[in-house]
Every structure is written in structure tokens, then in C-alpha cells.
């Protein structure tokens, strides 16, 4: 199932979120670093404070001392339409898919004018069905995160996306920052595919590379990871992010896993291909001592030793009771020609 033209296998989207801290230069720096690490796309969040929040919105993490309220924080995170267009142009220049999560109808309209390549629907927006209808009508790919939703809410959102014009993927996600291993929910990925018969993915908040590789082994079509320049830095997303060195490791790991998945092994064929190694590592039936021709072989006459170029060890019971046609020296490997 192809979500984005030109990408084979799992599309890897690096999530900047709020790590730019409202600084346009930092946002551009993330685009350069994401491209250098080999990811396929960059994703931002598009906040328009007056359209999405009120002064009553509580802090998820009370980390900021310069913002009096969560509303003020979203206000500081805003970029102008011109600035969003510059970010989009930079991503295109770096051959990156340009995505963003809108948090209001106004953000959807802004991003449509800017020209996003697709949408990420954040976990908290799964129940915002009017906005999902607006997104579905654009015909662009949509990635649906499911970090806080029960099945019924996901069902309703998928129904809307399925009725639209664009491809979509449903992504397992856990809205815990960082997500511990026991909360990752990798078992949900095949259930999403069975339930919705669509592309599936993982939006990971573990701050490690491990769930990403495990999910790719499940055959996901899209992976989203938060990224950060400095794990020691501040901000709400840092604990749930990977560094760019780790992102590079993820990309290498994905290529390894996908190559392995494209080449299923057949054990019989594999054994034939490795016959020379088998001759070195396996064992043969060997004479314990010098044995004369005519000797009727007993268990005490024989043992198993390397190399495996003689009669294989598995034939020991079959060999016992047969007579030798010729002399066999101590440690001599028995062959079929030695037996009557």
C-alpha cells in the first residue's frame, strides 16, 4: 500500500513538533538534519492559538517560565503563512515530504494554501470529526494517530477518511512521553490492519530506536519519530525524541529489516547453499580404534567427530550391525563404500 509516490517500503517521517521553540532558523535547521539522516519526510505542528485554544487550557508539562499560559505558548509557537511557505520550500529542496498536524480548521486552510504533501492527524484530534472531513476532502494522504482513542472513536475517524479522496494510514501510538516498553502496544499494529484493511504505522514516543525496528519487522507502511538535536535540551518533546545519530541508525536498521523481509528463507535450499560449511561444522561416524575388514560394527567401535564429510551422525543406528568391507584406521571417517 503506497502512501507517498516514489517511496518503497516504510516511509519514515521525522517529527519536529515544538522542538524549534518558535524559532524559524531552528525549524530550518531541523529540515537540514532530517534530510542528512536519510529520513523521507519532515513533520511539524501548525498551531494558531486563537483558533484552537482558550486561556483555560492546562499545561501538559509545566516546563515554560516565559509563557503565562498554554495559550501564550501556542501563540509563541506560531509561524506566519510566509514562514510556513519558506519551510515547505526548504523541505522540497531537500527532497523531503512536507507534513504538518493542523489543530484547527484555520490551520488546515493555511496548510492547504502553503501546499503540504499530506496530513498528520494528532491523537487529540481524532474526535474532531468536522476537521477530519475537511482533511479527507483535500485528497492528500492522511496519517491518523490513535494515542488516546478507543476503538469506537477510531472507527468513526476511519469512516471519514475512507470516504475521502486520499490514501490514509492508521498508526498505533501511545500518548505517554516517553512511552515505556510495556505501553508501546506493538500487538495493535496487526489488529489495525485486520480491522481496517489499510496501511498501518507506528507513531513512536519511546525516545529509543527499538519500537521502530520491531514495527518495521511487522511490515508497517509509515513510521513517525520525534527528533531532537540534544537529548539534554529542554522542551516537552525531548524525552520522547531520538537524536539524529539514532535516526540514522533507524534508517540503516529499516533497510536491513526490509531487505530481510523481501528475501524469505527456505531451510532446505539454505542447507544446500551451506553444504561446504556443513562439512566443517557437523560430525561424521568415526572409528574409535583401528578396525579390520569383516568387523561387525558395534556401538563401542564408533563415535562422532568433525568434520562432517563422512557418513552423517544421524545414521549411527543404521551403521551398527553392518560389516566392514575393508580396514578402517582409528579416527577414519566411515563412508558408504566401507560397509557391506
pLDDT tens across 266-277, in order?
A: 999 999 999 999
Do residue 177 and residue 288 come from a single domain?
no
Do residue 297 and residue 230 come from a single domain?
no
CA 54, 57, 63, 69 torsion-angle sign: positive
Taking residues 46-58, report their average pLDDT.
86
Taking residues 320-328, report their average pLDDT.
96
Query: Quick one: cell of 56?
Result: 483555560
Q: What pLDDT sits at residue 62?
A: 66
Do residue 153 and residue 95 come from a single domain?
yes
Q: What pLDDT sits at residue 232?
A: 77
Rounded to the nearest 10°, the torsion over CA 31, 34, 38, 43 is -80
Do residue 329 and residue 227 come from a single domain?
no
The domain of 297 spans 268-338
pLDDT exceeds cutoff 70 at 80: yes
Of the listed ranges 47-61, 129-143, 151-165, 255-269, the one predicted with least confidence: 47-61
Query: Quick one: cell of 135?
Result: 482533511
Taking residues 13-20, report their average pLDDT.
93
Q: What pLDDT sits at residue 236?
A: 77
Taking residues 154-174, report their average pLDDT.
97
Do residue 165 and residue 287 come from a single domain?
no
Do residue 187 and residue 166 come from a single domain?
yes
Whether the bond between 52 and the residue before it is cis, its omega within 30 degrees of 0, is no
For 47, other C-beta atoms within 10 Å of its C-beta total: 23
Query: CATH number for the domain including 86?
Result: 3.20.20.70
User: To which H or E segment does residue 221 belong?
Assistant: none
DSSP state of 268: H
Q: What pLDDT sits at residue 293?
A: 97
In a domain? residue 111: yes
pLDDT bracket for residue 66 (50, 70, 90): confident
Q: Specify whether the CB–CB gap between 286 and 310 falls below 8 A.
A: yes
Query: CATH number for the domain including 281?
Result: 3.90.1210.10
Q: What pLDDT sits at residue 68?
A: 77
In a domain? residue 1: no
Of the listed ranges 37-41, 48-52, 216-220, the one predicted with least confidence: 48-52
Task: Report percent pLDDT > 70 for the chain.
Answer: 98
Do residue 235 and residue 108 come from a single domain?
yes
In tens, the pLDDT along 177-233 reads 999 999 999 999 999 999 999 999 999 999 999 999 999 999 999 999 999 998 877
Q: Specify whether the CB–CB gap between 323 and 297 falls below 8 A.
A: yes
In tens, the pLDDT along 280-306 reads 999 999 999 999 999 999 999 999 999
pLDDT bracket for residue 63 (50, 70, 90): low
Residues in the chain: 340
Taking residues 28-52, report their average pLDDT.
96
Q: At what angle do helices 151-162 and 129-136 cross, to 10 degrees?
A: 30
Do residue 180 and residue 222 come from a single domain?
yes
Dihedral-angle region of residue 197 (phi above 0 means left; psi in -120 to 50 means alpha; beta otherwise): left
In tens, the pLDDT along 101-140 reads 999 999 999 999 999 999 999 999 999 999 999 999 999 9
Taking residues 323-333, report their average pLDDT.
97
Q: What pLDDT sits at residue 64?
A: 63
For 36, other C-beta atoms within 10 Å of its C-beta total: 12
User: Per DSSP, what are the bridge partners of residue 170?
Assistant: 144, 200
* Domain end marker among 210, 241, 262: 262
Q: How far apart are CA 198 and CA 7, in angstroms?
A: 17
Q: How far apart are CA 230 and CA 228, in angstroms?
A: 5
* Domain end marker among 200, 229, 262: 262
Average pLDDT, the chain: 94
DSSP string, 44-86: EEE--HHHH--TTPPPSS---SS-SSHHHHHHHH---HHHHHH
Taking residues 50-55, report their average pLDDT.
85
Q: What pLDDT sits at residue 255?
A: 96
In a domain? residue 3: no
Do residue 253 and residue 275 come from a single domain?
no
168 φ, ψ (degrees, to nearest 5): -150, 160
Of the listed ranges 40-49, 72-81, 194-203, the one predicted with least confidence: 72-81
| DSSP 3-state of 17 | coil
Q: Model's pTM, two decimal places? A: 0.87
pLDDT exceeds cutoff 70 at 162: yes
Total number of domains constituting the chain: 2
In a domain? residue 203: yes
Do residue 238 and residue 255 come from a single domain?
yes
Of the listed ranges 55-69, 79-93, 279-293, the one predicted with least confidence: 55-69
In a domain? residue 233: yes
Q: What pLDDT sits at residue 53?
A: 84
CA 96 to chain centre: 18
pLDDT exceeds cutoff 70 at 254: yes
In a domain? residue 151: yes
Q: Specify whether the CB–CB gap between 136 and 125 falls below 8 A.
A: no
In a domain? residue 2: no
Do residue 278 and residue 149 come from a single domain?
no
Do residue 142 and residue 243 come from a single domain?
yes
In a domain? residue 4: no
* Domain end marker among 222, 238, 262: 262
Rounded to the nearest 10°, the torsion over CA 204, 140, 27, 240 is -10
Task: Report percent pLDDT > 90 for the chain.
Answer: 86
Dihedral-angle region of residue 235 (phi above 0 means left; psi in -120 to 50 means alpha; beta otherwise): left
Amino acid at each position: 500500500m503506497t502512501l507517498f509516490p516514489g517511496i518503497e517500503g516504510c516511509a519514515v517521517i521525522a517529527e519536529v513538533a515544538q522542538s524549534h521553540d518558535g524559532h524559524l532558523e531552528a525549524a530550518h535547521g531541523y529540515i537540514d538534519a532530517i534530510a542528512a539522516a536519510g529520513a523521507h519526510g519532515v513533520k511539524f505542528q501548525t498551531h494558531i492559538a486563537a483558533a484552537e485554544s482558550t486561556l483555560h487550557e492546562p499545561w501538559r508539562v509545566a516546563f515554560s517560565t516565559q509563557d503565562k499560559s498554554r495559550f501564550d505558548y501556542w501563540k509563541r509557537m506560531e509561524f506566519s503563512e510566509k514562514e510556513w511557505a519558506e519551510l515547505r520550500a526548504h523541505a522540497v529542496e531537500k527532497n523531503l515530504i512536507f507534513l504538518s498536524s493542523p489543530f484547527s480548521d484555520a490551520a488546515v486552510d493555511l496548510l492547504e494554501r502553503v501546499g503540504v504533501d499530506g496530513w498528520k492527524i494528532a491523537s487529540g484530534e481524532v474526535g474532531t470529526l468536522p476537521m477530519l472531513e475537511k482533511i479527507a476532502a483535500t485528497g492528500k494522504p492522511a496519517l491518523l494517530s490513535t494515542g488516546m482513542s478507543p476503538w469506537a472513536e477510531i472507527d468513526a475517524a476511519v469512516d471519514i477518511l475512507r470516504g475521502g479522496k486520499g490514501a490514509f494510514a492508521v498508526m498505533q501510538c501511545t500518548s505517554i512521553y516517553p512511552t515505556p516498553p510495556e505501553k508501546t502496544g506493538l500487538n495493535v499494529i496487526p489488529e489495525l490492519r485486520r480491522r481496517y484493511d489499510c496501511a498501518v504505522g507506528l507513531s513512536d514516543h519511546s525516545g529509543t530506536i527499538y519500537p521502530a525496528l520491531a514495527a518495521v519487522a511487522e511490515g508497517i507502511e509509515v513510521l513517525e519519530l520525534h527528533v531532537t538535536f540534544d537529548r539534554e535540551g529542554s522542551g516537552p518533546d525531548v524525552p520522547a525524541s531520538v537524536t539524529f545519530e539514532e535516526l540514522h541508525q533507524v534508517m540503516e536498521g529499516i533497510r536491513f529489516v526490509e531487505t530481510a523481509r523481501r528475501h524469505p528463507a527456505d531451510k532446505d535450499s539454505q542447507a544446500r547453499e551451506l553444504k561446504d560449511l556443513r562439512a566443517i561444522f557437523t560430525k561424521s561416524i568415526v572409528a574409535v580404534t583401528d578396525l579390520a575388514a569383516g568387523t561387525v560394527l558395534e556401538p563401542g567401535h564408533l563415535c562422532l567427530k568433525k568434520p562432517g564429510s563422512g557418513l552423517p551422525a544421524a545414521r549411527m543406528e543404521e551403521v551398527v550391525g553392518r560389516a566392514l568391507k575393508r580396514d578402517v584406521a582409528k579416527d577414519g571417517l566411515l563412508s558408504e563404500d566401507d560397509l557391506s
